Amino acid sequence: MSGVERMQTPRLLLTRLRPDDFDDLHALHTNAETMATLGGVRGPDETRRVLDLLCASWAADGFGYWLARDRASGRFVGRGGLRRVLLDGQPEVEIGYALLPEYWGRGLATELARASIRIAFEELGLPDVVAFTLPTNRASQRVMERAGLRHVGNTVWADLPHVLYRLTASAWRESP
């Protein structure tokens, strides 16, 4: 695996999502707390469809979402990374993350977001990245802010209003 497909952060092991990651992804998709801001609980057919799309993004783009495991225990934590999206008619690269509730509040989503940003700018040479969430999801907005993204406006995703955050490579390089 390349450095983009498998890497470590201080507390996470991140590996390219693969078809055999179905059980872990489905555990995330059936967790009502996690999925409350991500479109709701998903059944096995929808999990398979999403997993197939996420795996296809690796093949098409050379990057995508990782499966996140706790480095110390090997336990499944969640998923996240980079993916291409069409937002307001414009192609963007989104930073996404979703963790099981028992891992919330530990800074792991921020760690995952920062790893995604580093890959986006250092490895992939992208000019910028975006992240978005429901206006009521303050926890996710705090992750975006801690990772260095800045609120730039509002957008609509999945027919719902979202707040939009962005970070440019130049702003990232200039940050302490």
pLDDT at 122: 95
Does residue 100 lie in a domain region? yes
Percent of the chain with pLDDT over 70: 98
Task: Tell me the pLDDT of the chain averaged across its residues.
Answer: 94
Among residues 157, 129, 151, which one has the least CA distance to residue 38?
157
Does residue 73 lie in a domain region? yes
pLDDT at 165: 98
Tell me the torsion sign for CA atoms 75, 28, 79, 15.
positive
Tokens 């990651």 identify what position?
21
| Domain extent at residue 85 | 6-174
Average pLDDT over residues 106-132: 97
Please check whether residue 69 is in contact with residue 12, taking contact to mean a CB–CB distance below 8 angstroms: yes
pLDDT at 28: 94
Does residue 156 lie in a domain region? yes
Q: What is the pLDDT of residues 61-78, one digit of tens each?
A: 999 999 999 999 999 999
pLDDT at 1: 46
Q: What is the pLDDT of residues 167-176, one digit of tens each?
A: 999 999 998 7
Does residue 66 lie in a domain region? yes
Q: Provide the token pair at 113.
A: 């977001």
Does residue 1 lie in a domain region? no
Q: What is the pLDDT of residues 107-116, one digit of tens each?
A: 999 999 999 9
Does residue 40 lie in a domain region? yes
Could you give the number of structural domains in the chain? 1
Q: What is the pLDDT of residues 1-40, one digit of tens each?
A: 456 899 999 999 999 999 999 999 999 999 888 888 878 8
Average pLDDT over residues 127-149: 96
Confidence check: pLDDT of 143 > 80: yes
CATH number for the domain harbouring residue 73: 3.40.630.30
Does residue 163 lie in a domain region? yes
Tokens 């690269």 identify what position?
93
